[in-house]
Amino acid sequence: MFPIGKLAKATGVKVPTIRYYEQIGLMPEPERTAGNQRLYAQSTLERLAFIRHARDLGFPLEAIRELLSLSDRPNQPCTAADDIARRQLAEIQARIARLTVLRDELQRMLDHCASDTIAECRVIEVLGNHALCAHDHDAQAAGQAV
């Protein structure tokens, strides 16, 4: 059995995040000592390591919830898990495409900036006039919050 601090250290997940995962039902409620300290079993450590790895791969919490549900039923075919991974791969590929457009636009700005003063700076000019950009890359298209 692990107290929450040791569980956090063993998995690299911060204590508040572990508590959050418990609140939203990704992790089971832990056992408690007489002093009300949380205690976690090895299976919980493995579950948290699974969640951490899935988060590292960019899976959203709802997809992780689905994957955990599937992992709790090991005799099922893995097509549903494959579908979730395919969705995540498609999202990452779309994000890479958006980031590539942004990278290319920033590089183009820098390549055309040959002035010594802000008054003639291409970066400042392009940032002030979106029409000078080669691509449409508003904040939402780039996957950023506005």
Rounded Cα distance between 95 and 141, Å, is: 9
Q: Has residue 112 been placed in a domain?
A: yes
| 84 Cβ contact list (under 8 Å, min separation 6) | 59, 63, 66, 67
Whole-model pTM? 0.75
Domain that holds residue 101: 95-132
Number of structural domains in the chain: 2
Q: Has residue 145 been placed in a domain?
A: no
Give percent of the chain with pLDDT exceeding 90: 60
Question: Which pLDDT tens digit goes with each residue over 44-83?
Answer: 999 999 999 999 999 999 999 999 999 989 898 999 999 9
Q: Has residue 28 been placed in a domain?
A: yes
- Residue 40 or residue 108, greater confidence: 40
**One domain for residues 8 and 66:** yes
Q: With a cut of 50, say whether residue 146 has pLDDT above it.
A: no
Q: Has residue 127 been placed in a domain?
A: yes
Q: Has residue 88 been placed in a domain?
A: no
Mean pLDDT throughout 40-44? Answer: 94
40 by Cβ neighbours in 10 Å (0-12 / 13-18 / 19+) ranks as buried
Q: What is the pLDDT of residue 143?
A: 54
3-state secondary structure 52-121: HHHHHCCCCHHHHHHHHHHHCCCCCCCHHHHHHHHHHHHHHHHHHHHHHHHHHHHHHHHHCCCCCCHHHC
Q: Has residue 111 been placed in a domain?
A: yes
pLDDT band at 121 (very low <50, low <70, confident <90, very high): confident
Among the candidates 55, 71, 87, a domain finishes at 71
